[in-house]
Structure 1
Amino acid sequence: MVAVMRLSIWPGAGQPYEAILEAATHAEETGWDAVYIADHFMPNAGPGVDVRHPVLEATALVAALGAAVPRVRIGTLVLGNTYRHPAVVANLAATLDRITGGRFVLGVGAGWQVNEHEQYGIDLPPTKQLLDRFVEALQVLRGLLRDPVTSFDGTYYQLAEAVNEPKPVQEPLPILIGAKGEKRMLGVVAQYADLWNAWGTPDLIAHKMKVLDEHCARIGRDPSEIDRTAQALTVVGGSRPDIDRPVIGGSRADLAASIEQYEAIGLDELIVPDAMLGTGADRLRAMDTIRSLVR
């Protein structure tokens, strides 16, 4: 039997909670599989960007949605490791899994957005140190979420007979790693992830999947143990913008072709950001169109 690609929605946190809940509720009612929330405190600084635009905090949103929407999986895409100690994240994740009755997906990443670190006085180390710290954090998370007691003596984190109770409902609670770097980060995914996530159109994702498979072979892990998830900005009707970010869709036929390509490369889950779907009833109609194109 051919596996059916899952379909999930990613409402932007820079909109009122009522709008986020509307998207999540519609996804719940129309057969979508999950709702993901990004972990940012403000827009990423850049030309024409209003960095004072309001952004809601991810973990509070995930908890609220987990309680309000009873069927779909709820996940983070992804929690920045620099923002919270991994022992705190493990405690948070176990609680969220309890709130959702075993529907939480813990998405984590190394952290990257410069203006957030600068404004809040959070250290953003050089790349090697950033990734070394992230690898240690993954070991801490896996220990606290899966083992009765965890001790860890690392360069960045130290735990002494630490407990994390209650444990998650899921055994194990799935850890999603957001990563694109082929030399090191996909190797980290191969070693520690239950799910992998990256931005990309089907051709790029197919290439990254091949690299991930090679990392799995190198360490002797079955690559089928890691679900592959991806997203691109999605246009439903109208023309694609000329921007330096992955974009799919346009006409209904263009969107259908992109979805078929993701399915053909074996993507396990397509995550749709709502940034280009419109608002209100327009967004819900766009969601229905997308849902109709996935088997």
Structure 2
Amino acid sequence: MRFSIWPDLDEPWPELRALVAHADLTGWDTVYVEDHFITHSAPESPLLEATGTLAALAAATERISLGTLVLSVTYRHPAVIANWAATVDQLSAGRLVLGLGAGWEEHEHAAYGLRLGSPGERVDRFVEGLAVVQGLLTQPRTTVEGRFFQVRDAACEPKPHQDHVPILVGAKGPRMLGVVAEHADRWNMWGSPAQVADKAAVLDAHCERIGRDPRSIERSTQSMVCVTDDPGRAQAFLEEHGTSGRAAIAGSAAEVAERIAAYAEVGVDEYILLTSDLGRGAQRLEALDALGAALVATQS
């Protein structure tokens, strides 16, 4: 199993850059960034934009892969996404993981006057957007005459540095899992090992229906994490996040690593660590190093 990080974009750029540079030097596989413009709890709070941040990180790192988790096709035309992706893949010498999603954040769409639409409409729009992105990244010219997007004899040059930029799709609904089976290289969802296993069975069934090997799709997940030697703090963290419906892990570095290792047993290829509850500055780097060492130990 690979191990990656997912920092928040609500911190100052120098701090974010230092964190990712440290992860680059210490063996973490990928850094992922979210695609939001407004924080949930404080809309006035600063929040760095995903595509600009990832381009800057491409120049500030040497080894670590760079991923979006995930770009919404409701925020940017897919032709814009494709041209951005090709450029960042060139800038990073082939380190981009292009994560895409159908969109879900209602208050953000309302604030910016962007149409979100019904769940069915979102999936339809997403499938069209994928056709535009994949065509532009791989074909000399692309034409898509859809309901939501129309591109005609469109070019995207230069092409990415990689022969094939991995397309990651975030999904958990039955229809979107079908889209993953048909179009994606990687699949991501939040959840506990049991929740991931449940949705993976649906994905596998979609793959079998269309004649695709289910294991040709890499699987990734993430959860809230607190590294602490204080049992009381760990329990409070689990209780706090248990009410939100999002998976959470808390305990010493060794205990957290052991629980993360359980994801490998349900076929997860990559675990993505949220760094938001690891503190800041030197404290965060120490926690990251301690957890990294513990995770390596689980692999041996």
Instruction: Tell me the TM-score range normalised by the shorter chain.
Output: over 0.9
Distance between the aligned counterparts of 1:273 and 1:50, measured in 2? 19
Deviation at 1:250, TM superposition (A): 2.0
Matched, 1:291 2:292: yes
> 1:93-112 alignment to 2 at 5 Å?
93-112=85-104
Is 1:42 matched with 2:31? no
In the other structure, the counterpart of 1:232 is 223
User: What SS class does the counterpart of residue 235 from structure 1 fall into?
Assistant: strand
Once residues 217 and 80 of structure 2 are traced to their aligned partners in structure 1, the CA distance between those partners, rounded to angstroms, is: 25
Q: In the alignment, what sits opposite 1:193?
A: 184
**After the TM superposition, which of the residue ranges 73-82 and 201-210 deviates more from structure 2?**
201-210
Identity %: 49
Other-structure match for 1:62: 54
Report deviation, 1:257.
Answer: 2.4
What is the CA-CA distance between 1:205 and the residue it aligns to? 1.1
Unaligned 5+ segments in structure 2 are none
> How far apart in 2 are the matches of 1:200 and 1:108?
18
Aligned to 1:24, which of 20, 24, 33?
20
| Aligned positions, number | 286
Correspondence list, 1:1-295, <5 A: 5-44=1-40, 49-181=41-173, 183-237=174-228, 238-239=233-234, 240-242=237-239, 243=241, 244=244, 245-294=246-295, 295=299
TM-score (norm 1): 0.94
Normalized against structure 2, the TM-score is what?
Answer: 0.93
1:241 alignment partner, SS class:
helix
Determine if contact 2:98/2:166 at 8 Å carries over to the other structure: yes
Shift of 1:204: 1.1
Q: d(CA) in 2 for partners of 1:176 and 1:39? A: 14
Residue ranges of structure 1 left out of the alignment (5+ in a row): none
Question: What displacement does 1:253 show?
Answer: 4.3
For 2:294 and 2:252, locate their aligned partners in 1 and report how far apart those are by CA, in whole Å. 12
Classify the secondary structure of the residue corresponding to 1:184.
helix
What's the Cα RMSD here?
1.1
Is the 8 Å Cα contact of residues 78 and 107 (structure 1) preserved in structure 2?
Answer: yes
Contact 2:32 2:69 in 1 (8 A): yes
Assess if the C-alpha contact under 8 Å between 1:78 and 1:108 holds in 2. yes
One-letter amino acid matched to 1:189: V
1:237-276 CA-to-partner distances (Å, cap 9, x unmatched) read 1413322121113233431321220122221111011111
CA distance in 2, matches of 1:253, 1:101: 35
Q: Give, in whole Å, the separation in 2 of the partners of 1:129 and 1:248.
A: 35
1:212 is aligned with what amino acid?
Answer: L
Q: SS at the partner of 2:74? A: helix
Deviation at 1:162, TM superposition (A): 0.8
> How far 1:282 moved relative to its partner?
1.2
